[in-house]
Structure 1
Amino acid sequence: MDRLAIYKNIAEQANQGDLVFPTHVEETLKLKRILDNPDCHLETAAKYIIADPVLSARTVAMANSSAFNRSGNDINNVPMAISRLGFRTLRTLVSATLVRQLNSQLRDPVLKQKAKQLWEHSAHVAALAQVIARHITRVDPDTAMFAGIVHEVGGFYLISRAEEFPGLLDGEPEIWREYGEKLIGRGVMKQLGIPEHVMKAAELLWQGISGVPPISLGDTLILANDIAPVISPLHEQDGLNTKKFAANIDFEVDDTTLQEVLDNADDEIESLSAALLV
């Protein structure tokens, strides 16, 4: 089966909801559904988070990041971390775990490196999107961070399938854009229960449609993606061209500029991305 046929086949599976996730991803999806229940209480959430040592560490690290720890008082237990973060941010962290787990069983070192770079890119985009939303576009910061985490979920899924199909990620980037992002990406998002408005923001990024100055969630995501210091391995050439362009991106924001906002929020961006990379 040639590469285009494989893409079409996976895209069809995605659109029909026939994607198969590893067992541990299914378990995390169950946790996501528990947390999505409006009747879920802090004690219940803490019990499930504590059962996962990695997720526990990420929850406490996020709560102690400068973006959430405004008082400077560190905490060291999960219930207090959840109380500080709130359920919306907690659900975002669980979604981050879902995305990372898609590639946790890879054996090929090249694919493992691609997955690692893609997560580093996503973590930086998520941190930047949260700060841009809070200081510039005034869209919901939690939603912006969530969009940054999941905007490449189709890419993570394809990397997870690439060991079955050697050469799947090689060749013309146009095939990836048409099938990987627009069809497979949306199909994976639907199966993971990503809200429609977040999917639409990601689609604006995939299509390269943005407004200047940025106003919407889609604009926020695109700007964060363009200025992220780590390039997506699935967009290497585009990313290098964008990086040259992004170095000169600046515009006025009220009585300051984009670059001044980013400079002032550097600690927040660094601590958020570091918490996601734990």
Structure 2
Amino acid sequence: MDRLEAFKAIAAQAGRGELTFPTNIDASIKLQRALNDENCHIDLAAKLVQADPLLAARTVAIANSVAYNRSGMEISSVKTAVQRLGVRTLQSLVTSVIVRQLGTKIRNPLLKAKANQLWEHTAHVAALAQVIARRVSHVDPDTAMFAGIVHEVGGFYMLSQAESYPEVMEGDPEEWTAHGEVQIGRGVLQKLMIPENVFKAVEAMWEGMRALPPENLGDTLLLANDLSPIASPLHARPGATSVAAASTIDFAVGDGTLASIMEESAEEVKSLTAALLHN
């Protein structure tokens, strides 16, 4: 089996919904479904979060980040953290746990290193997307963070399958972008019940088309990807700039510029990224 055949095999499984997830993901997916229920109130959400130590720690960390703790009042209670964040942000955090858990199955050191770098990249993109949405494109910041968390989920799944299909790590990175990312990514996004607007934003990222200044969620996601100081280890995205060149991206935003906004928001991005990376 060559690399393209391996991509096709994994993509076919994803298309049929026959995805192989680590067993610890099942509980997180059930939690995600519970939080998606419109009748899920804050008290119930807090109880569900407290049952998962990793999610509980990450929830408190995010609630204490600069992005969500404008008052500077640090908290240590999961329930208070849930009240501060709200159910929608919790949905993003549960998804971040699911994405991160895809790497727990990996034993090969090279693959694990790639998964760790991909998660660092993901955390930076999610944090940057949240700030860009709020300060620049004026799309919903929580949705933008969620889109950042899931934008590479197909890559995580591919890495989790690489020990069964070692061919996927052979060849040029462009082959993943051209033949694996879209087909596998769509299957995983569907399995995780990703909302249509986020799904379309990730598809726009796959196409590499965007407007500057960013006008919509897809533009916001692609700009965040470009500005991430940690590149994806899987590919150079079509239309994306290098990490070095991304520092030159600038444009007017109201009375300021993108560069001035990102400088003002640097501590916010750093704090939110660290909270997402919190284990």
TM-score normalised according to structure 2 size: 0.96
Residues of 2 paired with 1:38 and 1:238: CA distance?
38
Tell me what 2:35 maps to: 35
After superposition, give the CA deviation of every residue in 1:174-227 in whole Å (9 maximum; x if it has no partner): 321123221111110001100111111111111110012211000000000001
Residues of 1 paired with 2:139 and 2:92: CA distance?
16
CA RMSD of aligned residues (A): 1.5
80-89 or 169-178, larger mean C-alpha shift: 169-178
Tell me what 1:97 maps to: 97
Tell me what 2:123 maps to: 123
Tell me what 1:136 maps to: 136
245-254 or 13-22, larger mean C-alpha shift: 13-22
Tell me what 1:19 maps to: 19
CA displacement at 1:237 relative to structure 2: 8.9
Residues of 1 paired with 2:143 and 2:260: CA distance?
23
Tell me what 1:255 maps to: 255
Tell me what 2:246 maps to: 246
SS at match of 2:35: helix
SS at match of 2:234: helix
Tell me what 2:79 maps to: 79
Tell me what 2:231 maps to: 231
Residues of 2 paired with 1:181 and 1:46: CA distance?
35
Unaligned segments of structure 2, at least 5 residues:
none
SS at match of 1:210: coil
**1:167-246 alignment, distance < 5 Å:** 167-235=167-235, 242-246=242-246
Work out whether residues 61 and 275 of structure 2, in 8 Å CA contact, stay in contact via their aligned partners in 1. yes
Percent of aligned pairs with the same amino acid: 55
Q: Which residue identity is paired with 2:255? A: D
Give the direction of change, closer, same or farther, for the CA distance of 1:179–1:26 in structure 2 (3 Å limit): farther
Residues of 2 paired with 1:20 and 1:107: CA distance?
16
SS at match of 1:70: coil
After superposition, give the CA deviation of every residue in 1:96-119 in whole Å (9 maximum; x if it has no partner): 000000111211111111010000
Tell me what 1:88 maps to: 88
Work out whether residues 231 and 239 of structure 1, in 8 Å CA contact, stay in contact via their aligned partners in 2. no
SS at match of 2:155: helix
Tell me what 2:149 maps to: 149
Tell me what 2:51 maps to: 51
Tell me what 1:267 maps to: 267
Residues of 2 paired with 1:97 and 1:58: CA distance?
9
Residues of 2 paired with 1:135 and 1:96: CA distance?
23
Residues of 1 paired with 2:245 and 2:102: CA distance?
32
Work out whether residues 231 and 240 of structure 1, in 8 Å CA contact, stay in contact via their aligned partners in 2. no
Give the direction of change, closer, same or farther, for the CA distance of 1:241–1:171 in structure 2 (3 Å limit): farther
Residues of 2 paired with 1:201 and 1:240: CA distance?
15
After superposition, give the CA deviation of every residue in 1:112-151 in whole Å (9 maximum; x if it has no partner): 1101000000000000000000000000000000000000
Tell me what 2:61 maps to: 61
Unaligned segments of structure 1, at least 5 residues:
none
Q: Which residue identity is paired with 2:73? A: N
Give the direction of change, closer, same or farther, for the CA distance of 1:157–1:139 in structure 2 (3 Å limit): same
CA displacement at 1:172 relative to structure 2: 2.3
Residues of 1 paired with 2:84 and 2:249: CA distance?
34
Q: Which residue identity is paired with 1:221? A: L
Work out whether residues 232 and 239 of structure 1, in 8 Å CA contact, stay in contact via their aligned partners in 2. no
Work out whether residues 14 and 187 of structure 1, in 8 Å CA contact, stay in contact via their aligned partners in 2. yes
Residues of 2 paired with 1:184 and 1:38: CA distance?
29
TM-score normalised according to structure 1 size: 0.96
The alignment covers a number of residue pairs equal to 278
